[in-house]
Structure 1
Amino acid sequence: MDTFLPITLTFNLYVHCIINTINRYIRIRSYKLYRKHGDGPSDALYQPHKLEKWGDLVIKTVHTVTNISLYTSPFICMYIYKKGLYTLEKTQSMVPLFAGVGWFIALSFVVRALGRVSNPKYLEFLKDLTNTSIDQKIYLQSIRKYDFEFNKWPVSYSVPPKTSSTWLQTNPFDRCANNDLSTYQRVAIQVLAYVAVHTFGLRLIYPGTLSLIQTSLWNILIIGRAQLVENYNGIRAKLQSADGNAIDTMFVDNRSLSDKGKILVICCEGNSGFYEIGIMPTPIKAGYSALGWNHPGFAGSTGTPFPSQEHSAIDVVMQYAINELGFEVKDIVMFGWSIGGYTATWSAVNYPEVKALVLDATFDDLLPIAQNQMPQSWSRLVREVVRSYADLNIAQMIRKYSGPVHLIRRTKDEVICLRQGLVNTNRGNNLLIKLIEARYPDVTSEELAILEKYVGLLSTQRAALERGQIEESDRKMLRLISKHMQDLVTTHCTPLPEDIFMRIMDNIAANTK
């Protein structure tokens, strides 16, 4: 046994060298191909040979087991300790097992490689992908014929990197959202909030980052990309943000089809939304050009959707639209759905010349919704997590934007209503009140009280009131509500019909003349 360990280590090193050598020549660890565009219907994916399929299945299984092991490592270590498996003798007895597993994994890589090099379709893809000697634009056109692992895509556009802040500069413990607590209580809740947001907290806010959700939607996302590329001539691109994240984008250019195509609609998705299956089809079908992107940590995009990374992501998307795609800021409309209203509003505030801001099923502030979804006993912890790490206060930001704003309220919204089915608890109402309060300083406190009374009504009820005999102040508030908000009788996740989007755009154009 004493001589078996160095021999095994030598064999493993030898296997590692073999893997690296084969990887260099036939790419056995990279370039997973999903589809060649135009090769059959949009739901027809690349069909690997049996060898590649078998090798890939083993590698995926090992990857999944490894991830599960990392999450359950404390329990595994506890089990090893209780069983006394940590001794040198026990460890040495496990060496043959691990060596055998290592050889089996290495064999799987080799088998997958053999399956790939025996597939003419894969070899054609590999030839196009590795032919980097040609012009950059021609090269991008050639690889856009394929859908493959996004981390292998070349960067199409990047912005200068920003200087990374030190931990002391961004120290989350410098601030506290519960200042009324005593010192030791503040320290305790800050530590809990830090742990919560870096484990499950941000994933609850952005479920689209969960690998389980992405895995379950993976084939649907591939089909969605194929439809955007093949039906609308979509152009996929990788952008590199200032903080180093890769942002997955899709651009549909309708400038050659009509004058409406000269307006670019940048689509900001919800917390479980992806551009592949999100809101992009609405402006596209309405005749506008559209640019979709995925949040950091969603599908092909890297990173984590903390506000700072969200800011960097939408900023590089804006810079790409202006400098690479050739749109002027005044011809860009920000279109945000649900939590995407945060990045859409941030962009409108930081690019104040944008044509308009359209927010669909968007809330005013994340905190009331988060507290409503969690137990009352967690209220302080939720406040600390939101205010310190995910302070998505759209109402506060929207005060700084003076351009056209239009809100769409879902009357059956089950997500941003504090009480399901009660439209007067929809947090979009609060967003509208804050918008009108900031935009119309001549509105009196009495008129604001009238506004709060009427904003919770359905649009049909407000229209009936406006046709009747009412005070001029009431009529003024009803008109302001109608100017900035309209109802859609549906739930939170129903796609916005393109005819409604066209009417909104027509109203924006009429009001800006």
Structure 2
Amino acid sequence: MTSFLNYVFGPNLYMEYKGVAEPQRKMYEAGAAEKFGEQILSTLSVMWSVGYYTSPLLVTFLYRRGYIVADSMPTIAKITTSVGLIVIISLFMRGLGRKQSRAYSNMIKALAQARSSKSSGNGNNELRRFDIEFSAWPVDFDVKTLTGDAKKPTQSVGRREAISLATLPCELLAYIAIHTFGLPMIYPGSVKLIQKFMKPMLISGRAKLIDDDNGIRYKVKTIDSNEIDTLFIDNRNDNEGNGKTLVICSEGNAGFYEVGIMGTPIALKFSVLGWNHPGFAGSSGKPHPQQDQNAIDGVIQFAINHLGFLVEDIILYGWSIGGFSTLYAASIYPDVKGVVLDATFDDVLYLAQPRMPLCLSGIVRIAIRNYFNLNNAELAVKYNGPVSLIRRTDDEIIAEDNRIETNRGNFLVLSLLKYRYPNIFNVVQLSKMNNILAKPLEPYNIPGIEEKKCMSRLITYASDEGKSFPMLIGAEYSDEVRTQMAVFLLRKHLRDYNSTHCTQLPGEFFNIPWDIPTESGFVFT
């Protein structure tokens, strides 16, 4: 009986990857009995999801029609009993069909073996031949098992707005909003209906990464016990490529590593580690800021302690809202090799407010500041290393009506540069940079001699005073020299890509971020 229950309540099997017995990967084909049972259970699951998201409207409709009254309780009990009976029959049919399947039986044996060894291993065991429902996958790395002092500084994303009796009603409305429709609006990829629709694409994308790029899937358990779905591609044995450097990819608010930004660094032969936000696909939890912070922290700890990468050999790559995860990680791992931000913004508040009615502006502000304060501009100044930003010239998500002058990436790059070089980016220079950013960047055409002078000034200062920020270079410069330096620094930190928000970034736009070289005893002449 116990054995049969393993089939009844076992994980869904999606695919068999190629191996000795299977030279080509193939989708798992369920038998008639399993297909029947699974279809009924899947339909009931969808109905439950739709009912959950529409419950306020549904309850109101039923109440007004008189269906929710004391006399209706026997009818509700009969419906509940009938549904329960359907579920039991469906589960039995599913278990019976699975037990008759050779592929599913092999997977169950492999899963039992992996669980008995407490881990799915390092890519050589039988379980990795199967793509299964990830909740059943054994944990490969648990942050809690690390010894020593694992405490790191945390950047607050909690309460920012003062609460008083006058603002209490707005505070209550903000809490309700962010914990109902607010979270799905900020992270639509966490909505189960969307994930159900995308499941075939995710399975196919994951299969390509595993079979074609030799990817290995791992489960990372975070400090708050969420289980994060990750996939690693190891190119360290490729001596001619960039494999010694690991790129950790943080996806957007509806992005998944299976069909996301990993393709760009993979094509450039970097070692690559992708992960899904909490509540996305195989990852458990919800993408609340604190859970997301713990997730990216766990992923980096996994890269260092399990995969064996040095912190200084890691590049953090974030797209769109993934810039928050990336910049948070950079703030607590300041020795990473660099940060690449693609199509990201300075502060989610300025994206949320225009998308809501003006009369709700105050409630939106409280909701964001108190519960979802994704303020990338604040995080960016806490990282002292090299940063590269890519701006999409036709971005329709972080710009208003595709107008490039409203792109929130403009505000992020200027905020960063103003903090790092306060004596160069004065009012005059910031005004000129805003004019430059109001249209696509033209080809970089600073005369060679002037570019060398800009670089030499920076090298001289950094060699003498160090590269910590804010860097007080430029107090004695004329406005003309400041402007020249400002243009030079802007172009070193920002590149334009003629594209909309969601297209794959071409490899030529992904570079190791620029850093100021230092030379001991260097003197500018």
TM-score after normalising by structure 1: 0.85
- 2:12 maps to 1:29: no
SS in 2 for 1:54: helix
Residue 508 of structure 1 corresponds to 514
Residue 460 of structure 2 corresponds to none
Residue 471 of structure 1 deviates from its aligned partner by 3.9
- 2:450 maps to 1:450: no
Q: State the one-letter code of the partner of 2:172.
A: V
Residue 407 of structure 1 corresponds to 389
Residue 159 of structure 1 corresponds to 143
Q: State the one-letter code of the partner of 2:501.
A: H
Contact residue 411 and residue 423 of structure 1 kept, 8 A: yes
In the alignment, the residues of structure 2 paired with residue 473 and residue 77 of structure 1 have an alpha-carbon distance, to the nearest angstrom, of: 64
TM-aligned CA distance change 1:381 to 1:461, over 3 Å: farther
Contact residue 49 and residue 115 of structure 1 kept, 8 A: yes
Residue 268 of structure 1 corresponds to 250
Cα RMSD after superposing both structures: 2.9
> Which residue, out of 484, 490, 506, partners 2:499?
490
> Which residue, out of 52, 62, 71, partners 1:79?
62
In the alignment, the residues of structure 2 paired with residue 235 and residue 138 of structure 1 have an alpha-carbon distance, to the nearest angstrom, of: 8
Residue 149 of structure 1 deviates from its aligned partner by 0.6
> Which residue, out of 321, 331, 337, partners 2:313?
331
In the alignment, the residues of structure 2 paired with residue 40 and residue 342 of structure 1 have an alpha-carbon distance, to the nearest angstrom, of: 41
In the alignment, the residues of structure 2 paired with residue 32 and residue 423 of structure 1 have an alpha-carbon distance, to the nearest angstrom, of: 45
Q: Deviations over 1:286-319 (max 9, x none)?
A: 0100000001111111111111111100000010
In the alignment, the residues of structure 1 paired with residue 66 and residue 427 of structure 2 have an alpha-carbon distance, to the nearest angstrom, of: 71
In the alignment, the residues of structure 1 paired with residue 32 and residue 23 of structure 2 have an alpha-carbon distance, to the nearest angstrom, of: 20
Residue 198 of structure 2 corresponds to 217
Residue 49 of structure 2 corresponds to 67
Residue 383 of structure 1 corresponds to 365
SS in 1 for 2:335: coil
Contact residue 268 and residue 343 of structure 1 kept, 8 A: yes
Residue 101 of structure 1 deviates from its aligned partner by 3.5
Contact residue 263 and residue 332 of structure 1 kept, 8 A: yes
Bigger CA drift: 365-374 or 455-464? Answer: 455-464
Residue 466 of structure 1 deviates from its aligned partner by 9.9
After TM superposition, the structure 1 = structure 2 runs for residues 171-250 of structure 1, keeping only pairs within 5 Å, are 176=161, 183-250=164-231
Residue 166 of structure 1 corresponds to none
SS in 1 for 2:277: coil
TM-aligned CA distance change 1:41 to 1:349, over 3 Å: same
Q: Deviations over 1:249-306 (max 9, x none)?
A: 0000000013510000000100110000000011011010000000111111111111
Identity %: 39
Contact residue 417 and residue 427 of structure 1 kept, 8 A: yes
Q: State the one-letter code of the partner of 2:432.
A: I
SS in 1 for 2:492: helix
Residue 481 of structure 1 corresponds to 490
Contact residue 249 and residue 274 of structure 2 kept, 8 A: yes
Residue 5 of structure 1 corresponds to none
- 2:361 maps to 1:355: no
Identify unmatched segments of 5+ residues in structure 1: 1-20, 163-169
TM-aligned CA distance change 1:97 to 1:333, over 3 Å: closer
In the alignment, the residues of structure 2 paired with residue 372 and residue 93 of structure 1 have an alpha-carbon distance, to the nearest angstrom, of: 46
In the alignment, the residues of structure 2 paired with residue 285 and residue 512 of structure 1 have an alpha-carbon distance, to the nearest angstrom, of: 31
Residue 184 of structure 1 deviates from its aligned partner by 4.3
Q: Deviations over 1:399-454 (max 9, x none)?
A: 1111111100111111111241x211111111111111111133134333333332
Residue 476 of structure 2 corresponds to none
In the alignment, the residues of structure 2 paired with residue 462 and residue 407 of structure 1 have an alpha-carbon distance, to the nearest angstrom, of: 16
Q: State the one-letter code of the partner of 1:233.
A: N
> Which residue, out of 348, 362, 379, partners 1:397?
379
TM-aligned CA distance change 1:94 to 1:272, over 3 Å: closer
> Which residue, out of 236, 241, 252, partners 1:255?
236
Q: Deviations over 1:169-210 (max 9, x none)?
A: x998x7536x7xxx4440111001000000001111111111
TM-aligned CA distance change 1:41 to 1:366, over 3 Å: farther
In the alignment, the residues of structure 2 paired with residue 134 and residue 313 of structure 1 have an alpha-carbon distance, to the nearest angstrom, of: 25
SS in 2 for 1:336: strand
- 2:411 maps to 1:430: yes
Bigger CA drift: 377-386 or 214-223? Answer: 377-386
TM-aligned CA distance change 1:327 to 1:240, over 3 Å: same
- 2:127 maps to 1:147: no
In the alignment, the residues of structure 2 paired with residue 305 and residue 219 of structure 1 have an alpha-carbon distance, to the nearest angstrom, of: 22
Residue 25 of structure 1 deviates from its aligned partner by 4.2
Q: State the one-letter code of the partner of 1:114.
A: L
Q: State the one-letter code of the partner of 2:442.
A: T
In the alignment, the residues of structure 1 paired with residue 211 and residue 35 of structure 2 have an alpha-carbon distance, to the nearest angstrom, of: 26
Residue 127 of structure 1 deviates from its aligned partner by 1.3
SS in 1 for 2:8: coil
Q: State the one-letter code of the partner of 2:191.
A: L
Q: State the one-letter code of the partner of 1:485.
A: L
In the alignment, the residues of structure 2 paired with residue 161 and residue 84 of structure 1 have an alpha-carbon distance, to the nearest angstrom, of: 53
In the alignment, the residues of structure 1 paired with residue 366 and residue 448 of structure 2 have an alpha-carbon distance, to the nearest angstrom, of: 43
SS in 2 for 1:247: strand
Contact residue 238 and residue 248 of structure 1 kept, 8 A: yes
- Whose helix fraction is larger, Structure 1's or Structure 2's? 1
Residue 73 of structure 1 deviates from its aligned partner by 4.9
TM-aligned CA distance change 1:171 to 1:241, over 3 Å: closer
Q: State the one-letter code of the partner of 1:357.
A: V
Q: State the one-letter code of the partner of 1:434.
A: S
In the alignment, the residues of structure 2 paired with residue 309 and residue 135 of structure 1 have an alpha-carbon distance, to the nearest angstrom, of: 25
Q: How many positions carry a matched residue from both structures?
A: 474
TM-score after normalising by structure 2: 0.83
After TM superposition, the structure 1 = structure 2 runs for residues 112-127 of structure 1, keeping only pairs within 5 Å, are 112-127=94-109
In the alignment, the residues of structure 1 paired with residue 516 and residue 130 of structure 2 have an alpha-carbon distance, to the nearest angstrom, of: 42
